[in-house]
Structure formats: structure tokens, C-alpha cells
Structure 1
Amino acid sequence: MLQNPAADVRARLLAAAFEIARSDGADAVTTRAVCTAAGVRAPSLYHHFGDRAGLIRAVADAAFEEYFHRKDAAAAPDDGDPRARVAAGWDAHIAFARAYPGLYPAMYPASGPPPSQFERSGALLRAGFDELERAGALRPGITAALATNALRAALRGVALKVAGDPGDPGNDRTSAVVRDALIHALIADDGRDPSPSRPGPR
């Protein structure tokens, strides 16, 4: 099979940048470091990604793909309990931030254009709350839009805290307290524990 040299160079650059960000954080993804690791010259990086910011966005998109893959693999069976369903999604997100602390902040930048996968993530979350709203599973006065915004804000805050210090022994408890309080505020009472298996992600 014929190889595409340009595609191979792009893949090498992206793989090098992804690994640097995974181990040392996005700030360590410099043009020089990535080109050295990939064994190519700087003009190739500019050709494929435009500039360093474009490379960082590509790394973040690759991180989102890994996130979606891990979250799908960790998805709990839908047993009809909306609280357990939201808790499982929360735990999968926090587990990713802990596993990829260097990459996570690049996925949710404080400024500049977000990665292209950012909106996909939000749309999937909104679709889940739309389904719960149609089923009457949300508390009175809580809309799918409000639930989505509240959960995204809280989840991102906790995940950034975890990514900032993934070895903190208090992370599990912090995540569980915020998660369960939010679930209680958003999901109608059904008499079931929102975290039936354990108090926090592992």
C-alpha cells in the first residue's frame, strides 16, 4: 500500500505533541520540542497546523477522541436510574482528568477558540438532559439547558482541580460531594442512591 508522506509527517508531529502534553502539560508543547521529537523541521509544523496554537487545538481534539473512547468503554448499563446515569458520566469525566492531567486543561482553554470537539461534548451532555427532561426526571423548574450549564460548570471546576493535583488524596471526596449535591439539585427524587457502587471515581 502506498504511504502518504505528508499524512505521516502530520501524524508524527501530532503524536509527539500529544505525548509531550500528556506528560508535561500543554505549556511544554513548543515548536522546537515537538519538531525534535518528531524528527522534522519547523516549516513542516507550520504547514500542517498553521502555528503552535493550531497544534494545541489539534492535540486537544485528539484528547477529546480519547476521552469519548474511554467514556464509552466505562459507560454503565442503563438501568433506568437517572441519578446513577449522571453519576457514571461525572465519574468517567473526572477519571479522564486524573489520567491525563497535562492534556485536560488544553481541552477547556480559558481563552481563545476552543477545540472543534468542545461543542460535540456539550451537545452529547445536552442530549442526555433533553432525554431526562422528556421523561420527567428533572426537578420542577430545572430545564435541560439549565442542567447542562450547571453540570458543565461544576464538572469542569472539579476536573481542573483534579488535573492540577491528581495525587491529592482528597480528590475522590471532593468530587463525590460536588457530584451528589448537583445530582440532588437537578434530578427528581426517586428514592435511590445517586452513587450505588462507591462514593467516588477510582
Structure 2
Amino acid sequence: MLVTIQLFLWLAAGFALALMIAFFVMPKQERSRLVRSVPLEQRLKDYPQSAQAVIIRANKKLSLLKEMPWVVTLSLFSAYTFWFRKLEAPQCVEVLGQNAITIQLLLVCYGLPLAVLTWSLLYVRTGLKTLKTGYYPPLDEKRFADTIATRGWLSTIRGIAILLMPLFSVATLYFGNSAYAALTDTIDWQKVKVTCSAEPMNPAAQ
């Protein structure tokens, strides 16, 4: 599991660095929203005329429906991970005919990267619209809360970043595949059978 932990530490560090960079390159008008509560209409007045800022009104119902598959997926993954961590001997537990350790590795190394890849592909349309219209988020985007859409170089960078996300996801999937192969090679399944021989592997339902 050490390789998996290191992989996710690197991913977390990269994500944190990206957030820091995004914060410092963010226009002052948007940065103020993160550090103090400012009415949307007041923030709109603070944008320069070149930003052509407009307010996108919230559509909570459609926004929730759009994000619901990801909420369910992450909830199931989190629930399985929590249950897995509570097991005293996960190598002796079967889930759907597979070893619980194998299922956990598949979820971490393939499940999450594939989920991110699917999510990024669904947002390609948003990236294309951003580059076409210059607005981020696009004016027809369904948002959970009222949001200010602006034009400018930062919106263009955001559109490009969205279009590059599938490539990042494919790279993550590649590293996940390498990590899975390395981790499964370190498991001595014969030793696992001997360890669990005194107490046969029990289905997860029991």
C-alpha cells in the first residue's frame, strides 16, 4: 500500500499547489469572495468593464441532478473504504467473489481515475463553450448558487485547463495501472491462503 499512499500524496500536493496558484492569479474581485462575504451585486460593480461580467442565476435542482452521479459514486467509494479499514483481516474476506484487498486496489487504481476521466469528458463541452464565447462559466451553465461569469485571459486559461483534464485523467489511469501491477506483485497469495486456512474466507455479507 506504500506505493498507493505515495501516489496520492503526490496528487494531493499537486492539487494543493494548483489551488494556491489559482488563488494568487485570481482577480481581486473573485479573491474577495473567498475571504469575506460580499453581496454578488456589489462584486459585479467591482469588475472592470473589459470583463463584461454578468450574473448567472442559480438553478439548484438541475445542478444537483447533474452532480448526483458523482455524489453517489464518491459516497459508495467512501463507504467501502471506511468498511475496509475496519476489517481486522481484510485478506480473509471476500466481496462478490473477490478478495477484499483486490477490490480496494481496483477501486483506488482504476475506479477513481476512471470516474475522474468520465467527469472530465462530460465537461469538455464546458471547456469548448468557454473558449468559443470567452465566458467562464458559460452563460447557460447550471449552477447551484448565483455566480458571476466573466471574460478575459483567466477564463481562457480555465477553458484550456478543462480541455486538458482528460489527458491528466489518462495519465492518472496509467500510473494507477502501474501501481496496481506493483502492489499485486508484492502480495503472496499462497501465504494469504495459509494465513486464512484456519478460518476460511467469509463472504462480506456474513
- Relative contact order, higher structure (CA 8 A, sep 6+): 2
| Interval of TM-score (by shorter of Structure 1 and Structure 2) | under 0.3
Max Rg structure: 2
Query: Under a length normalisation based on structure 1, what TM-score does the superposition of the two structures give?
Result: 0.27
